[in-house]
Amino acid sequence: MKTYFDNGASTKIDSKIVEAMNPYFFEKYGNPSSIHSFGRDAKKALEESRKVIANSINARSEEIIFTSGGTESNNLALKGIAFANKTGHIITTKIEHDCVLESCKWLETQGFEITYLKKAITNETILVSILHGNNEIGTIQDLEALGDICKKHNVLFHTDACQSFTKTDLDVKKFNLDLVTLNAHKIHGPKGVGALYIKKGTKIIPWQHGGGHEFNIRSGTENVAGIVGFREAVKLSKNEHIVYMTKLRDKLIKEILKIPYVHLNGPKNNKRLCNNANFSFRMIEGESITGMLDLDGIAASTGSACSSKSLEPSHVLMAIGLTREEAHGSLRLTVSRFTTEKEVDNVIKKLPRIVKRLRSISPLGGSECIPRK
Amino acid sequence: MYSKKVIEMFKNPKFAGEIKNADAIGEVGNVKCGDIMKVFLKIKDEKIVDIKFKTYGCIAAIAASNAMCKLAKGKPLEEAAKITSKDIVKELGGELPLVKVHCSVLGMQALQKAIEDYRKKA
């Protein structure tokens, strides 16, 4: 049995979504900018999709800019706002996704000042960018409180909601958000499509120049079929999925914490994304754990240095104060609405033996060597 | 990312374990860098008659430890000391991802340290 516990990385596309996308490959394949019937059909789908996505976060249609995904939306938000202000100060955290951190690092080379959430807002601050739901440890930030602070200081507020979208409450008015990054493939939609919500009246500089598509903010022919898939993904998301995923998550956490020398990374209960569980196992390394799981057909991920190209442990795990050993021994299991209870039981059954086995061949572990099977 | 041979050795590392009353032990690496390799040798007439390892680390580190043991078993100490990281990579089917080559170096160093340990005792 092959089981998938890496839904934080990407998800299985819902077959209903593929069905909804299909006509836009084979029948209504026109360019939405064309004025003939093919173009009009595509345009109609585009605008309907924009409306659905806008409604889902309590925004207006004209505030949604379709992009190629989360990375592009985050780049556009940060660089577009920075350059619209020409100069200024930006606040973010140390637990953002790489596409936010790398954009910030680059903006520093362009003369902008970046603070990684140590001191308060200054007179020069133009933007605060804070991840809604953390992709590694599942922490959900209190956007309402942060939004209040930004509003009080008249500072723009951006959030990357790629992991949290449809998994927890997201309301641009309630949270006083000016910019929100969204994407489709984390919610059972297709890859290569995302959106950026930009509050009406927000000054932003386009980052991709061309024919003036997407309200002159993001040029390039829209990925109509992908956008229709994105729309369907939003339409198909339900509150009961959150309840279901929470149940699976809590079972994983409860059972896996029974293994000796393991701890949960990130918060518990409703401060945590409903689909995320992240553990640190002492005395063993995460890539070996995911490697052993893979041999049993279970796909998972780790924040260990050994699995990164840079050989550096996860910046998120280090930022929350884990030791290098704890970060090396991390394992992330992320469920989706397609994950079955049987699959959860399977990982709960297999994991203790894998951990025991790896500890038995670790110089930091016990002395008795346990075979794999 | 990994070759079949690497996965095979990770899946079933025949030399994983410990030798009680080992004649020599070599340990390299540390928890911070993410790999620790410990090698146990049983030596008779200047020859490695038995060898085991314990490794804290990734798939490549475990596979490289096992490959090193396979190469060293039965060899005279003088010959075993000459085993290079390249020999270990060769034993692993000839390829390791670039960022994992240090695992084969660690394997070589662990063995050399164990042999050094034996020489010191003698």
The owner of tokens 């998550």 is A249
Q: Is the Cβ pair A325, B99 closer than 8 Å?
A: no
Q: What is the DSSP string of B64-103?
A: HHHHHHHHHTT-BHHHHTT--HHHHHHHTTS---GGGHHH
Chain A CA closest to residue B55: A362
Cβ-Cβ contacts under 8 Å for A35 (sequence gap 6 or more): none
- Across the interface, of B7, B54, B60, the residue whose CB is closest to A362 is B54
Q: Which residues of A, range 19-48, sit inside 8 Å of B by Cβ?
A: none
| Cβ pair A328:B61 closer than 8 A | no
Work out the burial of residue A1: count CB atoms within 10 Å of its CB; fewer than 13 is exposed, 13-18 middle, 19 or more buried: exposed
Measured CA to CA, the distance from residue A4 to residue A1 in angstroms comes to 10
Task: List, for residues B21-38, the tens digit of each pLDDT value.
Answer: 999 999 999 877 779 999
Q: What stretches in chain A show pLDDT beneath 50?
A: none
Q: Per DSSP, which regions of chain A are E strands?
A: 3-4, 64-67, 89-91, 113-115, 125-129, 156-160, 179-183, 194-198, 262-264, 276-281, 298-299, 330-334
Angstrom CA distances, A104 to A82, A130, A153, A320, B32, stand at: 10, 12, 21, 20, 28
Contact across the interface for A295 and B27, Cβ inside 8 Å: no
Q: Which of B103, B108, B111, B115 is catalytic?
A: B103
Tell me if B18 and A367 make a contact (CB, 8 A cut-off): yes
Measure in Å the smallest separation between the Cα of B75 and chain A Cα atoms: 24
- Least Cα distance to A214 among A33, A82, A369 occurs for A33
Provide the token pair at A228: 């229709």
| CATH no. for A15-236 | 3.40.640.10
- A89-91 vs A113-115, strand pairing mode: parallel
Going by the DSSP 8-state scheme, the letter that residue A81 receives in this structure is: H
Which of A309, A365, A372 lies closest to B99 in CB terms?
A309
Q: What are the extents of the domains in chain B? A: 4-117
**Domain spanning A239-360: CATH 3.90.1150.10:** yes
Q: Phi and psi (nearest 5°) for B63?
A: -65, -40
Note if B58 is an active site residue: no
pLDDT value for A94: 79
Given an 8 Å threshold on Cβ–Cβ distance, is B10 in contact with A364? no
Give, as one character, the DSSP assignment of residue A208.
Answer: B
Query: How many angstroms separate the CA of residue B72 from the nearest CA in chain A?
Result: 19
Identify the CATH number of the domain defined by range B4-117.
Answer: 3.90.1010.10
- The H-or-E segment that residue B52 falls in is strand B47-56
Q: Which residues in chain B show pLDDT less than 70?
A: none
Q: Hey, is A228 helix, strand or coil? A: helix
Of B10, B17, B55, which has the smallest distance from its Cβ to A291's Cβ? B10
Residues 6 or more apart whose CB falls under 8 angstroms from that of A290 comprise: A300, A301, A302, A307, A331
Q: What are phi and psi of A262, to 5 degrees?
A: -140, 145
List chain A domain ranges: 15-236, 239-360
φ/ψ of B25, rounded to 5, equals -135, 135
User: Which 18-57 residues of chain B touch chain A by CB within 8 A?
Assistant: 18, 27, 31-38, 53-57
B69 carries an active-site annotation: no
Give phi and psi for B92, each to the nearest 5: -85, 15
pLDDT digits (tens, 9 = 90+) for A335-352: 999 999 999 999 999 999
| DSSP string for residues in A133-181 | B-TTT-BBP-HHHHHHHHHHTT-EEEEE-TTTTTTS---TTTTT-SEEE
- Token readout for A161 is 């909601």
Residue A175 corresponds to which tokens in the numbers above?
């949270």
Neighbours of A161 (CB within 10 A): 27
Give B-chain residues touching A322 at CB under 8 angstroms: none
pTM equals 0.88
Quick one: pLDDT at residue A7?
94
Chain A CB within 8 Å of residue B109 CB: no
Interchain contact, A288 vs B12, CB within 8 Å: no
- Residue numbers in B near A280 (CB within 8 A): none
Q: Which pLDDT belongs to residue A152?
A: 87
Q: What is the ipTM of this complex?
A: 0.91
Asked if A369 and B56 come within 8 Å (Cβ–Cβ), the reply is no
Q: Do the Cβ atoms of B42 and B23 come closer than 8 Å?
A: yes
CA-CA-CA-CA torsion sign (B57, B59, B64, B67): positive
| Cα–Cα distance for residue pair A88/A78, rounded to 1 Å | 12
Contact B58 A307 (CB under 8 A): yes
Q: Select from B17, B34, B38 the Cβ nearest to the Cβ of A305.
A: B34
A361 — contact with chain B (CB < 8 Å)?
Answer: yes
Distance of alpha carbon A106 from alpha carbon B71, whole angstroms: 48
